[in-house]
Structure 1
Amino acid sequence: MGRLTTHVLDTAAGIPARGMRIELHALDTASPRPLASFITNADGRCPAPLLEDDAFRVGRYTLTFHVAEYFRDRDMTLPQPEFLDEVVIRFGIADSAQHYHVPLLVSPWSYSTYRGS
């Protein structure tokens, strides 16, 4: 059975993004349906898969990473409004037997993602 995982790297400091809030939503209804909220651990990862077993289904989803909140919590001075407040990644799961890993590399000024393994 497949699963969904993520991790976040703070590229401004060169460290895992410990304590970042992440929200997962399903896009199978007229408005996004909240599924779960997570806080990253010391390795910048969630302690368990975001979706797995019967909850891991083919469909469209979003991950919302609260990046401005994360950087403010680290006493970084950010402009108002922040250049990046929330990073929202919309993605699809086409095969529920595979592992989908959606990492985020982020600074207050840029971000990158890819389908990892």
Structure 2
Amino acid sequence: MLLRLDIADSRPLHEQVAGAIRRAIADGECRPGDRLPPARDLSRALGVNANTVLRGLRTLRDEGVLEFRRGRGVTVAEGADQRSELLDRARQLVADAARQGYSKSELIELIRGLS
């Protein structure tokens, strides 16, 4: 798994780490059930602190993209490829709505009106 961070990106590093892993899953580099390298190895490869990597991994765990298993490390969750794509599309929708002057709560109301 080859991950890269963009030093010109203004997002916090832990978000960039999470985004890089999401991309790797979406691109098929990591599949459900695959084990990720240890956080210490990822931090060395990316040139960031291990706590930064752990924060990005916890974000993905909270989103249901990764699973933490004692003794087995961090693995890609079943359905993560679909979840990752959906989360990216949802983030894009929130960003598009903000550019058009809609708040998150107004966007939620718009979506509720669709059903």
The question of a shared fold, defined as TM-score above 0.5 by the shorter chain, is answered with no
User: Greater relative contact order: 1 or 2 (C-alpha under 8 angstroms, separation 6 or more)?
Assistant: 1
Please say which structure displays the higher CA radius of gyration: 2
Query: As a proportion of its length, which structure holds more strand?
Result: 1
